């Protein structure tokens, strides 16, 4: 079997530095201290492959750099820094070569670039490495992708239609989440190993539950600790109750201490600088609906280093009862296997006023 393999080398670089995406902002990300992560994420997948198919790929960091221990053939070469046009050209080469599965590493933008060319002609599977991964073509982790590839090659993975999501990049950077379906790809599917598309929960009871969570949070936040606030509407409701609704970013990471916003739309470096001055700190996060990711999707600013500095015992997860019902289990993908193990297990999730539910948190 022939497998096409490509990497978007800049995918995910904007996450830790708070750019909410890297497309068109590579130089800015580098100035802020961003480091490439996609090749390493891709290598975790290829190293975990228990089979040895012929892999057709791209030169250098678009593929070959993650395949040093694998049998591969370069069918597309590029000069300079790769672009979305290179992704498209590589996909055309894969079509010409008759690959039977296209394995790519990146985020939603990469998924769209791939889909534009291959449509439903080649099944596609994503190794998660971007800032935004709302599409349903992504495995939950690099290791999960390797397992799906093995089952696909052995004829044990079914194919399904999977949504490719289109997020308005400009709106996202203005802290507005505007998504629509870009198309439906064919993708190998295995329960648990493939993530669900992001779900948005909106109802009167849902809003009431968020209000109750916020009321409780505002009480325990009186302890004088620094609170790092993650993204999402549940956390934003807390800021509104504190009178900081107009200042708190909806899709960014902020910091509050004693009802005062002390950091807005912060990146990893800024969070660590702030934590260096504090003796007590806690992190408030809410999982992505249906996907269940607590860390590693959309909040990469709260990095493994930040979490370790705060302490896993000071991570507080909040979610409405409806979101918990629709989310089979919670997930974590910090990039540190050791930290993911520490975070795993059954955790208490604040789900109302002085209410909590136990939910399983798994490593991706």
Residues near 361 by beta carbon (within 8 Å), at least 6 away in sequence = 294, 317, 329, 330, 331, 332, 343, 344, 345, 346, 347
Both tokens of 244, joined, read 């900081």
DSSP-assigned states of every residue in 212-272: HHHHHHHHHGGGS-EEEE-SSHHHHHHHHHTT-TTTS-SSS-EEEETTEEEESS--HHHHH
- Give the pLDDT score at 201: 45
The phi-psi region of residue 38 (left if phi > 0; otherwise alpha if psi is between -120 and 50; otherwise beta) is alpha
Domain architecture of the chain: domains with CATH = 2-189 (3.40.50), 204-363 (3.40.50)
- Give the pLDDT score at 70: 93
Residue 342, phi then psi, degrees to nearest 5: -65, -35
Half-sphere exposure of 38 (CA within 13 A, CB side): 28
List, run by run, the mean pLDDT of 10-residue segments along the chain (364 residues): 96 70 65 82 95 96 95 95 95 98 96 97 95 88 95 94 82 68 94 66 73 96 96 94 93 94 95 96 91 91 97 97 90 94 96 94 92
- Give the pLDDT score at 191: 80
Cα–Cα distance for residue pair 249/233, rounded to 1 Å: 10
Q: Is the dihedral of CA 124, 125, 127, 128 positive or negative?
A: positive
Half-sphere exposure of 8 (CA within 13 A, CB side): 32
- Give the pLDDT score at 32: 73
């Amino acid at each position: 079997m022939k497998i096409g393999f490509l990497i978007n080398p800049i995918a995910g670089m904007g996450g830790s530095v708070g750019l909410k995406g890297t497309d068109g902002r590579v130089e800015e990300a580098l100035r802020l201290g961003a480091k490439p992560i996609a090749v390493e994420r891709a290598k975790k997948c290829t190293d975990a492959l228990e089979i040895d198919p012929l892999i057709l790929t791209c030169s250098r960091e678009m593929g070959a750099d993650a395949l040093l221990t694998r049998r591969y053939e370069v069918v597309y070469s590029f000069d300079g820094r790769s672009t979305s046009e290179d992704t498209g050209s590589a996909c055309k080469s894969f079509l010409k070569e008759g690959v039977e599965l296209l394995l790519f590493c990146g985020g939603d933008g990469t998924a769209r670039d791939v889909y534009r060319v291959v449509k439903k002609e080649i099944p596609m599977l994503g190794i998660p490495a971007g800032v935004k991964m709302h599409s349903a073509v992504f495995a939950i982790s690099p290791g999960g992708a390797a397992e799906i590839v093995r089952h696909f090659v052995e004829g044990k993975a079914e194919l399904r239609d999977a949504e490719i999501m289109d997020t308005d990049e400009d709106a996202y950077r203005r802290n507005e989440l505007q998504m629509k379906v870009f198309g439906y790809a064919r993708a190998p599917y295995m329960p648990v190993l493939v993530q669900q598309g992001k779900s948005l929960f909106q109802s009167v009871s849902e809003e009431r539950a968020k209000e109750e969570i916020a009321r409780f949070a505002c009480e325990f936040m009186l302890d004088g600790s620094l609170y790092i606030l993650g993204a999402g509407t549940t956390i934003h409701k807390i800021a509104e109750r504190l009178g900081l609704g107009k200042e708190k970013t909806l899709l960014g990471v902020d910091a509050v201490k004693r009802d005062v916003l002390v950091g807005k739309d912060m990146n990893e470096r800024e969070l660590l600088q702030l934590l260096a001055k504090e003796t007590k700190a806690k992190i408030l996060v809410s999982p992505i609906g249906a996907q269940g990711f607590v860390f590693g999707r959309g909040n990469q600013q709260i990095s493994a280093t930040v979490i370790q500095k705060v302490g896993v015992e000071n991570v507080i997860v909040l979610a409405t009862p409806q979101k918990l019902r629709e989310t089979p289990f919670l997930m974590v993908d910090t990039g540190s296997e050791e930290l993911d193990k520490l975070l795993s297990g059954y955790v208490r999730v604040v789900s109302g006023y002085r209410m909590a539910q136990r939910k399983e948190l798994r490593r991706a």
